[in-house]
Amino acid sequence: MGGAVYRGFLDGAIATVMKMKGDVYKEVDILNKMNHNNLIKLFGACSEQGCSYLVYEYVLNGSLSGWIPG
């Protein structure tokens, strides 16, 4: 999964919005079933005109790839 990433607000809190092409509802179904303290929470998703938008909780300090040496 990959696409443009934006920061926005949802109910007064900062959220991360990922814009993706195509249908991602299979991935959304899997993400909704996962519950772990080390995973960011998926708040919701929508699809319009061939693009899908996933809304996640906002996490400070950048991406995971910046924290994993390699």
Rounded to an integer, what distance in angstroms lies between the CA atom of residue 33 and that of residue 41?
Answer: 11
For 30-51, what is each residue's pLDDT tens digit? 888 888 887 888 998 988 888 8
CATH number of domain containing 40: 3.30.200.20
Instruction: Supply the pLDDT for residue 62.
Output: 66
Domain that holds residue 38: 4-66
Residue 1 pLDDT greater than 60, yes or no: no
| CB of 52 closer than 8 Å to CB of 21 | yes
Query: Strand ranges (DSSP E) for 4-69?
Result: 4-10, 13-21, 42-48, 51-57
Residue 2 pLDDT greater than 80, yes or no: no
Provide mean pLDDT across the span 3-12: 91
Residue 17 pLDDT greater than 90, yes or no: yes
Residue 4 CB contacts under 8 Å (≥ 6 apart), including other chains: 18, 19
- What is the domain count for the chain? 1
